Structure formats: C-alpha cells, structure tokens
Structure 1
Amino acid sequence: MSKTRAVNPRQPKSIPKNDEPEYVFDFRQAMLARGLSVRTRNAYVKDLTSCQATSLKALPNWQDKDVIACLSQLSSEGKTARTQARMLSSLRQFFLWLVNTEQRKDNPCEKIKTPKLGRALPKDLSEADVENLLLAPDMSTSLGLRDKAMLEVLYACGLRVSELMNLSLEQVNLNAGVLRVTGKGNKTRLVPLGEYANEALENYLTHARNDLVAHLKSGDCQAVFLTAQGGYMTRQNFWYMIKKYAKLAGIQKDLSPHSLRHAFATHLLNHGADLRSVQLLLGHSDLSTTQIYTHVATARLQALHEAHHPRG
C-alpha cells in the first residue's frame, strides 16, 4: 500500500487520449461541459471504445443494425446482460449528443430494447451483524477510534464510500448533529448523524485525529478521516478495513464498503421509514433507485414469517 500522503482528495485520472478519434474527443469535452465526473467520463469512453472495436464502420455512422450486431458480438464474447445494457446506454448517450449537436438526424438506439436484467438485490446485513461490526475496532488506539467513527458514520448516514473519503472538516456540524454531504452531480444534502455516530465522531476528532495529523509534514489536509500518514484515505483503504473488521466480527457474508449503505436503507424501511425520506437521505435522484430496498425488506419479512408463523 502506498505510503504517500494525500493532502487533497484522491481523484481518478482521465483515460489517456492515445490518438483517440476526433468524435470521442469531442464527446469527452461535451461530457466535461455537462459537469460529469472523471469516473463517469472514463466509463463512457471505455464503453464506446469497446463498441467501436466490434465494427470497422466509424461509430458516428452506425445504424440500428450495427448496434444490434455490436450487442450480438458482446453476447458471443460472454458479456453479461448488465454489461450489454450499460454499453447500450453509453451508445444512446453518444448518439443523443450527435443529434443534439446536429451531426446526425436520428438515434439508431432509439427503438432497441435494453437487455432484460435480473433484479440484483443488495446483500442482507442483519442489525446484529452491523452491531458486531461496529464493536470490532480497538478503541484504545488512534486508528481504532478513526475506524469506529468511520463505520458508525457510514451506517448512520448511508453515505457512499467516496462521500465518506472526501468528507472535510467544514462539512461536519457536531452541535447540530448533521453532515453537509456533496454527492453525485455535486448535489448537496444534509444528513443527520444520530447519537452514536455523533459521539464516535466527536471522540475521534477530540482524541485521535491530531495524532494522525502529526504525521503530515507538509500541506494542510482538511479530510475528516486520515490515513496513518496523515493524508486522505482511498476507497481501497476502506475496502481493506471493512474486510478486516468483518472477519474479526465473525461475519461470514462477503462485505463491501457499500454494504453499510445498503444496511442503512433496509433497516430504516424495516423500522417504518417512508421511501421518499430514505431517497432524500441516500441522495438518489430517482425514487426507482431507492425502491430496490423495499424488495430487500419484503424478502426479509417473508423469511421471518416462514420461520416463525405456525402456518408459514
């Protein structure tokens, strides 16, 4: 693991241009003008490059039969329906841009149906599992206090991992018990911390963060959560951390950093929260994205009914 100290949030690098076609460069610039993140722009460029590789015809000249041939080729290569759907979505956006900029009159993807996807439900992490996970860090060390605060905040607020990694001191208001979080599309939302997360965060900021700052020899890092070297953490840092604590807590499920965000939403719904409120807390722009958690909650209720009802 790298020992370098990051005094600014770590951001993904743009895919190198490497003599890319002019239409890809222009589309890249259009995405930049729309304010899309580097990660999103990279994903579009990667998908368009993969699609172009299935045909000798230049992408801007494709017709619907070329799109269908591309999807067929991807399927024959063993690409999943989810991957095909994502690439079709990238093609749709690309051709929509061509239409909007009057470089062509039609979108050849318009009448092509998206491959059917099975609904992928988030892994069900029980409240007991979460409790064991939150108790796993060693509270006698600075890193343990940091890790405890990170886990508590992630579960209490349902943050995306990137939101947690990039959280700065100015976004924290312990007196009001809220975080001002900047999510996808640079949208800002206020998220309540709750008693346990507020206490864990205050404990870390008061008793541990200064110990980590002491390792930072230059620069002024405003990150709330610091590495042992005093800089910004990465998604990989946190991935290793949650795997370690899941093992200590005796959790057999394969956890990811996103697992606590899933648990946050599912447990809120299990305890009677309404879907709209959960949507706002998660920072979802579309309610349909949040609705997947109702399926998790329903599945859990059905399992409980079958296990405990005399006629289950």
Structure 2
Amino acid sequence: MEREIHDFISYLHETKKSSSNTEISYERDLRKMARFLEDRGIREAKAVRELDLEGYLDYMERGEFASSTISRSVASIRAFFQYQMKVNGMEKDPSDNLRPPKVEKKMPEILSIQEVDLLLLQPDLNTPKGIRDKAMLELLYATGMRVSELIHLQVDEVNLQLGYVTCKEHEKERIIPIGNVSRDALILYMDKARDTFVKDSKEKTLFTNCSGKAMSRQGFWKVLKGYADAAGIKRDITPHTLRHSFAVHMLQNGADIKSVQEMLGHSDISTTQIYLSMNMNRMRDVYMKAHPRH
C-alpha cells in the first residue's frame, strides 16, 4: 500500500495544496493503518473490506488511543479511500460506514498574561543562546504563528523596519504585524547573536540551533519546556499553548475575531470562535466575582 499512500499524499500536495502539517498527519495515520492491514496479509487498497477497517478501529480502541487520535485517523482513512474511488476506480468505499468515536471537546490550555510575562523574562540576555531564545518566544507570542512556521521562517520574511513577518506555506501566505517588544528582541538577536550560531552565509533560516542548522520542533519544545520549568509554570505547556494564549489575550484586549482569524491563518472562522467562547467564559467569571448584584 506504500505506493498508493505516496500517490495520495502527492495528490494532496500538488492538487489540493494542503499544508505540510496536514500531509504529515495523513501520511502518519495511513502508514499505521497499512502496517496493521499488512500484518493480516492485505497489501492493496482494493483488497480492504469494511470489516478490516472496523478491526483496525477496534485495535486502536483496545490500545487506548485517545478519541481525538482515532477520530483524526478515521478522517485520514476516509479521505484516502475517497481518493481511491475517484482516481483509481474502486467500486466500493470500505470506509463509507466508518464512524469515529465521540470526542470530548477540551478547551485549549492557555497561560495568563502574568504567566507569559514570567516565561518571557527567563532567557539570559547575557548569552547568545538567551538572546536567540528570547527573540523566538517573543515572536511566537507576538504573532500566534505555529511552531512549524516559526522554525521555517527565513531572514528575508521579517521586515524589521515596518514591523511585520510573512508566513508562507505552499502558495498561501499571510502578513502578521509585530509589536515593538518583539521587534526589539529580533533586532538584538540579528545584531548580537545570530552570527554566533550561523557560520554559513548561505543559511537563510532565521532561527538555528547551536550548530547553525535549522531548529527542529523537538529542539524548540525543549527550549520552551526549560523556561516554563524555570518560571515555575507547573502545567504541561507546548508551543501551541503560546498560540492559544495569543488568541485569547488579543480578544480579551479588544481585537475583533476576523482579525485574529487572519493572523492565525484559520481558513474557517468557526475554528477561531472557540477562543471567543473562552473569552466570554472569562468575562462571566469576572462579572460573577465583581458585580454587587450578580
């Protein structure tokens, strides 16, 4: 099934112009399914039956995979077999009756403004690494960009004079303004720290690891985790926590939801609306605590 999965991912990339995150997610889900099926002697998409896919879902549920993981896998599998029907002429879609488990929607984890301030105070500005880390954290919180966008950002995609960054993914791009604090942190990094890491003049990635190569997601996650621990933040935060926090804090301070949607790069405003509901919940709590006649 290797070739069929490869062709499907190529179709997503070239025809659907899917994001790299979507492609990585689909490919991971489908490879897991393929391994399960191949262990049972099924090596081609056309040989898969509805019962085989139900068996795979049972296997995932017995393995105590999270409901959200199973639901995402179902979506990947259905998209894959719909492609097989459309392009390769499969007569029957074995995923047609596949139904994901009900997923309990959890509110995203966010930091308070005070926690963000404390986190951003942790990098040591007396060291090149601290200067770099401060610039990365400030930029992530200033823009709400995804960590994949942060680590792939190029030097020429940052306009320090006008104060904005350009996020590019496939043929899509969006411009996000940055404030003075983030801008100053970037200027300090470019002036005092980047050349410490980057020895190759051809390297255009904005943020690199200590070897001068593009930073990985795992590398940035370790940086963030270290500073969260140093700040005494006990919750298990991820790079996405800063993205969530950016969105909620923007709405709390009066930003309109359409602008936040554009800055986050959400294609559907319903994805952004969850942050609006979180903001409403916060206002309700403030009201109940503060209003004398609640």
TM-score normalised by length of structure 1 = 0.82
1:160-207 deviation digits (Å, cap 9, x = unpaired): 111111111110111111101114x54210000112111111122122
C-alpha change, 1:80 and 1:151, in structure 2 (3 Å) is closer
**1:160 matched residue in structure 2:** 146
Q: Determine if the alignment matches structure 1 residue 251 to structure 2 residue 233.
A: yes
C-alpha change, 1:94 and 1:223, in structure 2 (3 Å) is same
Q: Determine if the alignment matches structure 1 residue 136 to structure 2 residue 155.
A: no
C-alpha change, 1:25 and 1:243, in structure 2 (3 Å) is closer
Contact 1:279 1:287 in 2 (8 A): yes
TM-score normalised by length of structure 2 = 0.87
Aligned counterpart in structure 2 of residue 290 of structure 1, from 262, 272, 276: 272
Structure 1: distance between partners of 2:133 and 2:165: 18
Q: Which has the higher helix share?
A: 2
Q: Determine if the alignment matches structure 1 residue 30 to structure 2 residue 30.
A: no
Structure 1: distance between partners of 2:179 and 2:247: 15
Aligned counterpart in structure 2 of residue 237 of structure 1, from 203, 219, 232: 219
Structure 2: distance between partners of 1:234 and 1:22: 28
| Offset, 1:28 | 4.4
Q: Which moved more, 1:143-152 or 1:34-43?
A: 34-43
C-alpha change, 1:29 and 1:280, in structure 2 (3 Å) is closer
Relative contact order, higher structure (CA 8 A, sep 6+): 1
Structure 2: distance between partners of 1:25 and 1:205: 40
Q: How many residues align?
A: 289
Contact 2:30 2:77 in 1 (8 A): no
Q: Determine if the alignment matches structure 1 residue 194 to structure 2 residue 179.
A: yes
* Structure 2 gap ranges (5+): none
| Offset, 1:77 | 3.0
Superposition RMSD in Å:
2.5
SS in 1 for 2:165: strand
C-alpha change, 1:174 and 1:95, in structure 2 (3 Å) is same
Structure 1: distance between partners of 2:35 and 2:287: 47
Aligned residue type for 1:248: A
**1:11 matched residue in structure 2:** none
Q: Which moved more, 1:106-115 or 1:200-209?
A: 106-115
* Structure 1 gap ranges (5+): 1-19
SS in 1 for 2:175: strand
Identity across the alignment (%): 35
